[in-house]
Structure 1
Amino acid sequence: MSRTGPVGLAVVGAGNISGQYLRNLTAFPDVEVLAVADLDDRRAAQAAAEYGIGTACSPAAALEIPEVEIVVNLTVPAAHAQVALAALRAGKHVYGEKPLALDPESGRAVLAEAAARGLRVGNAPDTFLGAGIQSARRAVEAGLIGEPVAATVALESMGPEGWHPDPAFFYLPGAGPLFDMGPYYLTALVSLLGPVSSVAATARMARQRRVVGSGPLAGTEFPVEVPTHVTALLEFAAGCGASTAFSFDSPAGKQLLELGGTEATLALPDPNTFGGPLRIRGPKDREWRELPLSGTEAGRGIGVVDLARSLRAGQPHRASGELGLHVLDIMATIVASAAEGSFQKVTSVVPATDALPASWDPSEATL
């Protein structure tokens, strides 16, 4: 029987990012967090107590709760595919943190399992559903920049070890600046320009070991296993191009996302946020002009709400597994291109979805 009313959730993984999700998901009326689960019983219990969630349990126990319809998978990247497959085999839909999996083959296995069982997969980031990127999409679709020509991306910093209390996983396969921060920028670009068809890239590792800079582990060294500076040229199927740089080796730091067209250039907001500013500048403008934003800035978890509402309505959801797989495929192809020194084709595609209505509000009950 089809269910009605708020959609039951279990959050699996009570680590650093879970607080942002739990704060929002426990406040959005169209979903209900029934359980928080973690391999560490203490962490699960602390999170459940802090956010007023009735059940703290193991991941396996969370999958046995009949009222849970969507598992929100906030585990470390190396566990994403394994946890997603377990949830799907338990009859649950899955919404996971990025990346979808460590490699496209594992990501395709997750989507195949979901398709075979008639279940859905959603995937972060959902920042592209926020007012900033959605307003940029409306500006592009309204022709404010003319025909899109090319994008420029730069995300450069010294890495997360200066602020994160346990940063080693950022330097393991499935992370690094490309896999950790790249999904925000690549998802935003794909939502604006459509799928990527080919890439050419270079990559390097500046240091083989790093040091934790804060928290109980401060001063502890850990190994680096992935490139820490990646540059890539992207060609989109629609004909646009993009130049991108993702780095954990930049002392000065830089954050840039611009989209140039035949009539004007858009300076987009940080795609790791849900708001603005969004600015435009034409050839006769002396200064950037700020464009008004419309949409939600509610924060992480809005992709889960869109999945829940779409599930009840029988409509496609926007932060989809197919989108997550395409972004994962882009990143894996960048790695292959850097290793082989040649242009590489991106084989996956992603279906187009409608923009999120400007009036869409996760704080309003609709189910």
Structure 2
Amino acid sequence: MIAKIVRNADLSDHNTLGLNARCDYYCAFDTHEKLSEALEFADQHDQQVFVLGGGSNVLLDPDINGLVLTSVNQDLEVSGDCVRVGAGFSWDALVAQTLGMGLYGLENLSGIPGTVGAAPVQNIGAYGVELSEFVTAVEVFDVVEQKLKTLSATDCDFGYRSSLFRENPAKQLVILAIRLQLSTIYRPRLDYEDLKNLSEATIANPERLRSEILMIRKRKLPDFQQYGNAGSFFKNPWITSEQKMGLQRLGVLAVDNVALEPAAELKVSAARLIEAANADRFQVGGARVSRKHTLVLENGGGASLVDFLRLADQIQRSVLDRFAISLELEPTRLSALAKRG
């Protein structure tokens, strides 16, 4: 049960942006006992601690001074329509396996890169479905109180691409496993525009629906193995009724007959705003806006973290100057956990 600590580890293959990165120490753990041992090592050597999932929604600094932890726990337990899965399990593998077991609900989340443990952090979502709809609990290790805890879905404070794990500044929880409530009844979710015109044969077969969603993602999103990327780089912003009318006057949004209440908000496409601000062909160093999807910033070769941050800043400034709307980054910088108690 001894945790293996690797010194001066290369993290270039641990992030889908393809950024060159390294850390002083690295540990892959599969039990909370090994996690505790790794944290003890960090205490003894006065090291900051960072937790890294699949690296699909994270911005890595080139030099990380401290210990980086990654869960490789791939436990999968199924009881009826309830699933408990370890944080190191591949997310898309989970979607495929549960579908093969006749458990439904996750089909629209097919093809999302990364691990199960990272999924609750930003409350992953795609094609009108979010992870939070299925989470019943998240098992964590509290590094400050040094004990295991089970958080309910309410405790997790899920929101649009956000959660307690992303927003909590204390950063004291390490996700070990999640519990999901799926369904033995297949009810396809087809509200999203790209899914509305599928054939009846595709809709009737969950495996075919998954395949179609994978094909849609392949058409619209660059392959991170060819051009490193972190998926959507910006969140779709919420705007007020006044901002909506302003965008309609500028021809950015189509005029409709839906009137928002004064205090109501509407979520709009960040990609549309970027295109309308003429920022969809920006490039800084090796970082550029993807030709496949405006929301994706990709590594055209040799891009650094600074390249991506400068490119994102240029895009944000262009949208803000043009429309007075702020775009928020979706991927996050890797930040240290709180010190143990």
TM-score where L is the length of structure 1? 0.26
| Higher helix proportion | 1
Give the structure, 1 or 2, with the largest relative contact order (CA under 8 Å, sep 6 or more): 1
